[in-house]
Chains A and B, each alone.
Chain A
Amino acid sequence: MSLGELQQLAMLAVVRLGSGAYGAAIQDELANVASRRVSVATVYVTLVRLEERGLVRSKEERPPDGRGGRARRVFELTPSGWDALGEARATAERIWRGVVQP
């Protein structure tokens, strides 16, 4: 299962953020760590597409009692998502093998 670059980055951001992997945090992670400034809509399009492919799943997380705000959707990788990410990494490593940067 092939992954686009942004999809890979978004999945890695989900992994890095763990239980805090919701839309805003993922957008910040992409900007701060991967230097990819993408629009809010682009982040959610990527996440929705990954969810449709079964590579991530989301659950609604309500804020702790006594704190205001609405529920937000937290994302995590599915086993298929882990497989796809691992496959992408292995492919990259295979193709890099033997390449010497001048």
Chain B
Amino acid sequence: MAGCGAAVSRSGGAVGRLSRLFRLLLPGDLGAEVCDLLDQRHDERRARFGATAAWFWLAAHLLHPQTWVLALLLRRRQPGHRSGGLGFGFSWLDVKLGLRMLRRNPGLTIVAAFALSIGIPASLIPIHGIAAMGAPLPFDEADRIVGIRNRNVADRRVEVRSLHDFFVWRDELATFAAVGATRSEAYNVISEDGRATPVPGAEITASGFRILRTPPLMGRVLLESDEVPGAPDVVVLSQQLWQSRLGGDPDVLGKTIGIGTKPHEVVGVMPEGFLFPWHDHLWLPIRYRPTDFERGRGPALTVFGRLADGASIDDAQLELETVGARLASEYPDTHGQLRPQVMGYTEMAWGGFDGLDRAETFFTQMVAFALLMIVCGNVGTLILARTASRSGEIAVRTALGASRRRIISQLFAEALVLAVGSAGLGLFLADFVAARFQRALPFDAFWLDFGVKPWTVAVALSVAALCAVVAGVLPALRATGRGLGVTLQGTAARSGMRFGRASTLLIVAEVAMAVGFLTLGGTLTYALVENGPPASEIDSDEYLMVELSIPWTDRVVAQHGLDVPAFLEVPELRERLMAVVTRLRDRLSTEPGVRGVAMGSRLPEMDHPAGRVEIEGEDRGEGFEGYRVRLATVDVGFFDGLGQGVLNGRGFDTRDLAATLGPDPTAVIVNTAFVERVLDGRNPIGRRVRYVVREDREPGPWYEIVGVVGHLGMNALTSRDEGMYHPAAPGDLYPVWMAIRLGEDPLAFVSRLRRIASEVDPEALIRNPRVLSDAPNIDKTVNLYSYMLLVFLCGLTMLLSGAGLYALMSFTVSQRTREIGIRTALGARPERILIAIARRVFLQLVVGIAVGAVVGSVLLYSLREANIPGPDPALTLMACSAFMLLVGVLACLEPTLRALRIQPVVALNER
């Protein structure tokens, strides 16, 4: 084989091994020719991209479904090929035999199927995720639609305020057929009865519709004439919004709907599925002009375009850089550090992948495959043990004329049945999980679909075939090796098969990992159960929580080019927000059924930010970093709104608000946990606290503690919920979280609340309505998923290590059946036999536990450093080690009992 052989001799090592695999896979002259060509292409790639990239390119071809199709086709062409076979020398009979063997060994089947059905889909997550996020938009010639953005090379951030640049790009770039801009926002759609519903929508240029090339279902799209300031207010609706809000009215064109404060004439309806740019349901014309803003100011825009015929993305980048260089020299203050970039639209939507991201993705994918190979190695260990018990059968078949290749094919077929079945089951589960994951994402893109695709199935099947090679062929090569003749003679105490060093290491590593995970899991469970958060003192099922905000359409914001925290620095907005909050609170106070309203930057049960404070007059010495406390800023009626009286001292009042605006110390309220842990139970009233800052900074003001409240759900994770509340005036919070006490079925009040809010200010948005007990809590969610992952990993490593130990013991017993029989016949006591056969297994178990205990100690030390409380470390390690020992002993129980039950007569007559 000149071609692939050449690769072996040239590069040897990894490339050589791959080439040999290809040669095995692709038989005949044509197969050799394909190997030659792959070799040639590999060399070309190595010269251009380096040896590693070229190796992975070659490896990817091994997983390519078409490679396997070609392998089947070439095998069919081979002389002596039996019709009705499946290629590779195996037939449906092998598949049937494989299924029968899986049925006969349910334990092995369940463990291996469990491991592979998780391992195979999990190994595809990186490649699948990247492909789903980079899927083309569902538009005509979508690969010609690109995004344009400015990147600040000084701080490596994307500069989104590019209104001035948009007009330059639109007018000057010849490599683009059209350039458009868009900006997503939420708008209140007001129905005829005054009901307001927040709907995601977008301002978009008329050119945007030309770029996307999607004709409207009815009416027209937006036109340049709509963008002229003073033109009639018009809107284009999505098909879904047209159906849901206007009942699919066929005469909708020309009618008006209220959006925020103004009525808008409906001029068009887009077809189903058109939700550009993210998941938007209405489109308004963009009417910003560069003259309205200073350069570098203005709204945050997404700029996109369609490449002109014949222009490539590289041409566009080149032209863009020329324009960018000119702007940088003309406006060094605003553009000196900006570099324009052009890239695929979806690539830009996800923040853009640069070289590092690609490398990370590639690395993640390789790690995922490496982990899968470990799982395969484990399954291979199980299969090797099972194969050992069949060594007699294999020897007899060999004696009857079966070639080594034939026997390997059958064992491969069995592993393939297992791997393909597991991959199918895994993909089914993965599709289900993907749908749930997508729903849980905090963003939604209309082109995004994480579901299983046909290509995913094809790649998963290729990976399954690779797993079958690792888990089936390697043990089969060992099982059909040199010791086979000895086995047939049946004279030796053992057959020639051995449990290799790799299998031994694998089992030791798994036992160690299981002990490590068990230690971690046990400690965290203790922390959760014994040291969980104290029960909140409010009945959170009675409250409706919502987020109140004002849409970012206000030109004042755009003019200032502000970020969210600076929103309140604009006096007009602050006053407007204050008016909305005050009037809304007044309206709600007279609303029947409303028993209280609390407003704050955070509500009970949500995740609260933390800060570090010190107490006046306390000197804690060097290295003291302050007390970590949870923080919230609340309006003066917050505690009354939650039905919580102040336990000590007084509540907030308007005097405190006046103080916040002046230089005098301001008031804070702390909770009982603060009093217990920070002040050691001393009277807090009148004491002063301030935030700990870095030594090179000026310390902030002192705050005086004026009152104490109970536990109000400031920390969802542990009992450490020491907290401090600052008072705020109605316009000082943005966005505002509101908790409205209603009693039963709080969600029923949402539509009424929206109506009241729209009467107060038609643009006020009421979003994210939930029952307070279901409040979004990132701490809690992250913790829950991390904990679930830990439990899962703990279970998986325990299962795999237990299965490995079982396999080793089972293997030993089957190998030494005759020896045990002879020993028993010679009068050996059961305990002597037990020691003889269990010595190696026990040694691996003990070594694994010892390594695991060291790993566990390190983990426990880290937990202690992170202030996570747990039981006594020595006791934890002993308990976890004992538990793993028990699992190991239980795993070995069945084969051990089997060994002790061996009757000498039966053992000696066997085979």
A residues with a Cβ closer than 8 A to B are 22-24, 27, 39-42, 44-45, 48-49, 52, 60, 69-73
In the complex, are the beta carbons of B69 and A41 less than 8 A apart?
Answer: yes
Does B132 count as interface, using CB distance less than 8 angstroms?
A: no
Query: A22 vs B30: C-alpha distance in the bound complex, in angstroms?
Result: 11
What 1/0 flags go to B59-89 for Cβ under 8 Å of A? Answer: 0010010110110011001000000000000
Q: Can you list 23 A-B contacts (CB < 8 A)?
A: A23-B34, A23-B37, A24-B37, A24-B40, A39-B64, A40-B37, A40-B61, A41-B34, A41-B61, A41-B64, A41-B69, A41-B70, A44-B34, A44-B70, A45-B70, A45-B73, A48-B30, A48-B77, A70-B3, A70-B32, A70-B36, A71-B29, A73-B30
Query: With A and B bound together, what is the CA distance between A69 and B37 in angstroms?
Result: 12
Residue of B nearest to A47 (CB): B30
Assembled-state Cα–Cα distance A85/B887 (Å): 68
Does B41 have its Cβ within 8 Å of any Cβ on chain A? yes
| B66 & A70 in contact (Cβ 8 Å cutoff) | no
List 9 A-B pairs, minimum CB-CB distance, nearest first.
A41-B66, A41-B67, A42-B66, A70-B2, A41-B70, A48-B73, A45-B70, A24-B37, A40-B37
Interface assignment of B38: CB less than 8 Å from any CB of chain A: yes
Given contacts A40-B61, A41-B34, A48-B77, 15 further A-B contacts (CB under 8 A): A22-B33, A23-B34, A24-B40, A40-B38, A41-B66, A41-B69, A41-B70, A45-B66, A48-B74, A52-B73, A69-B2, A70-B2, A70-B33, A71-B29, A73-B29
Check if A40 sits within 8 Å of B69, measured CB to CB.
Answer: no
B13-68 residues with Cβ-Cβ distance < 8 A to A are 29-30, 32-34, 36-38, 40-41, 61, 64, 66-67
Q: State the Cβ distance, B273 to closest chain A Cβ, in Å.
A: 23
A89 to B74, CA, bound (A): 30
Separation of A38 and B439 alpha carbons in the complex (Å): 35
Question: Which of A41, A71, A72 has the most B CB atoms < 10 Å from its CB?
Answer: A41
Per the bound structure, the CA–CA distance linking A25 and B848 in Å amounts to: 56
| B contact set with A: CB distance below 8 Å | 2-3, 29-30, 32-34, 36-38, 40-41, 61, 64, 66-67, 69-70, 73-74, 77
Q: Using CB atoms, name the residue of chain B closest to A22.
A: B33
> Please, which residues of chain B bring their CB within 8 A of the CB of A41?
34, 61, 64, 66-67, 69-70
In the complex, A73→B36 CA distance in Å?
12
On chain A, the residues within 8 Å of B41 by CB distance are: 40
In the complex, A22 Cα to B37 Cα: how many Å?
10
Chain B residues, CB < 8 A from A40: 34, 37-38, 41, 61
In Å, the complex CA distance between A39 and B66 comes to 8
Identity of the chain A residue whose Cβ is nearest the Cβ of B71 in the assembled complex: A41
A40–B60 CA distance with the chains assembled, in angstroms: 12
Which of B30, B40, B61, B73 is the one whose CB lies under 8 Å from A49? B73
Write the nearest CB–CB distance from A81 to chain B, whole angstroms.
18
B30 touches A44 (CB 8 A): yes
A86 to B29, CA, bound (A): 31
- Bound-state CA distance A29–B67 (Å) is 20
B33 and A73 contact, CB distance less than 8 A:
yes
Q: How far is the CA of A39 from the CA of B74 in the complex (A)?
A: 17
Which residues of chain A are near B61, meaning CB under 8 Å?
39-41
CB-defined contacts of B67 to chain A, threshold 8 Å: 39, 41
B40 contacts across to A, CB distance below 8 A: 24
Residue of B nearest to A70 (CB): B2
Minimum CB distance partner of A27 in chain B:
B37
Decide: A72 and B33 in contact? CB cutoff 8 A. Answer: yes
Q: Closest A-chain residue to B72, C-beta based?
A: A45
Which residues of chain A are within 8 angstroms of B33 by Cβ–Cβ distance? 22-23, 70, 72-73
The docked-state distance in angstroms from the alpha carbon of A100 to that of B30 is: 45
Find chain B residues with CB under 8 A from A52 CB. Answer: 73
**Chain A min CB distance to B309 (Å):** 14
Q: Which of B2, B32, B66 has the most CB of A within 10 A?
A: B66
Q: How far is the CB of A16 from chain B (nearest CB, A)?
A: 19
Q: Which B residues are in CB contact (< 8 Å) with A60?
A: 29
Nearest CB in chain B to that of A71: its residue = B29
B residues less than 8 Å from A24 (CB atoms): 37, 40
Rounded to whole Å, the gap between the CB of A44 and the closest CB of chain B is: 5
Using Cβ atoms and an 8 Å threshold, which residues of chain B touch A23? 33-34, 37
Which A residues are CB-close (under 8 A) to B64?
Answer: 39, 41
Q: CA separation between A44 and B40, bound complex, in Å?
A: 15
A39 and B38 alpha carbons, distance in the complex (Å):
10
Interchain CA distance A23-B77 in the complex, whole Å: 18
**B590: shortest Cβ distance to chain A, in Å?**
62
Q: Which of A40, A60, A73 counts the most chain B CB atoms within 10 A?
A: A40
How far is A70 from B74 in the complex, measured between Cα atoms in Å? 19
What is the CB-to-nearest-CB distance from B882 to chain A, in angstroms, rounded to a whole number? 54
B335 nearest CB across to chain A (Å) = 37
Cα(A48)–Cα(B78), bound, Å? 13
Report how far A40 CA is from B33 CA in the complex, Å.
Answer: 11
Q: Are B2 and A48 in contact (CB under 8 A)?
A: no
With CB as the reference atom, state the residue of chain B lying closest to A51.
B77
From residue A79, how far is it (CB to closest CB) to chain B in Å? 22
Q: How far is the CB of B15 from chain A (nearest CB, A)?
A: 16
- Specify which chain A residues have a CB less than 8 angstroms from the CB of B66 in the assembled complex: 39, 41-42, 45
How far is the CB of A10 from the nearest CB of chain B, in Å? 13
Which residues of chain A have C-beta atoms less than 8 A from B74's C-beta?
48
Give the docked Cα–Cα distance between A52 and B69 (Å): 14
CA distance A72 to B38 in the complex (A): 14
A97, B36: Cα distance in complex, Å: 45
**Which of A22, A45, A70 lies in contact with B69, CB distance below 8 A?**
A45
CB distance from B36 to the nearest CB of A (A): 6
> B36 near A48 (CB under 8 angstroms)?
no
Q: How far is the CB of A48 from chain B (nearest CB, A)?
A: 5
Please indicate which of the listed interface residues A22, A45, A48, A60 has the most CB atoms of chain B within 10 Å of its own CB: A45
User: Which residues of chain B have C-beta atoms less than 8 A from A71's C-beta?
Assistant: 29
> Which of B30, B34, B67: most chain A CB closer than 10 A?
B30
Please, how many angstroms separate the alpha-carbon atoms of A52 and B199 in the complex? 58
Task: Looking at the assembled complex, report how far the CB atom of B45 sits from the nearest CB atom of chain A, in whole angstroms.
Answer: 12
A93 vs B56: C-alpha distance when bound (angstroms): 44
Residues on the A chain within 8 Å of B3, using CB: 70
In angstroms, Cα B29 to Cα A78, docked, is: 21
Chain B residues positioned under 8 Å from A44 (CB to CB): 30, 34, 70
B58 to chain A, nearest CB (A): 10
Q: Which residues of B have CB within 8 Å of A72?
A: 33, 36
B872 to chain A minimum Cβ distance, whole angstroms, is 59
Closest chain A CB from B899 CB (angstroms): 50
* A48 surroundings in chain B (CB, below 8 A): 30, 70, 73-74, 77
Cβ contacts under 8 Å, B29 to chain A:
60, 71, 73
Q: Measured between alpha carbons, how far is A42 from B61 in the docked complex, in Å?
A: 10
Residue of A52, A69, A70, A71 contacting most chain B CB atoms (<10 Å): A70
Separation of A9 and B77 alpha carbons in the complex (Å): 24
- Residues in B with CB closer than 8 Å to A73 are 29-30, 33
Contacts of B2 in A (CB 8 A): 69-70
Q: What is the bound-complex CA distance between A72 and B34, given in angstroms?
A: 10
B62 to chain A, nearest CB (A): 10
Measured between alpha carbons, how far is A41 from B38 in the docked complex, in Å? 9
CA distance in complex: A41, B41 (Å): 12
- B-chain residues with CB within 8 Å of residue A22 when the two chains form the complex: 33
Residue of B nearest to A52 (CB): B73
A40–B36 alpha-carbon span in the complex (Å): 10
Alpha-carbon separation in the docked complex, A71 to B29 (Å): 9
A67 to chain B, nearest CB (A): 13
Q: Give the CA-CA distance A47 to B565 in the complex, in Å.
A: 64
| Closest chain B CB from A83 CB (angstroms) | 24
CA of A49 to CA of B533, assembled, Å: 67
A52 to B64, CA, bound (A): 22
Q: Which residue of A lies closest to B30 (CB)?
A: A73
Closest to B60 in A: A39
Q: Bound state CA distance, A42 and B77, in angstroms?
A: 17
Q: Which residues of A contact B34 (CB under 8 A)?
A: 23, 40-41, 44
Chain A residue at minimum C-beta to C-beta distance from B3:
A70
Q: Which residues of A contact B73 (CB under 8 A)?
A: 45, 48-49, 52
Q: Which residue of B lies closest to A69 (CB)?
A: B2
Residues on A with C-beta less than 8 A from B32 are 70
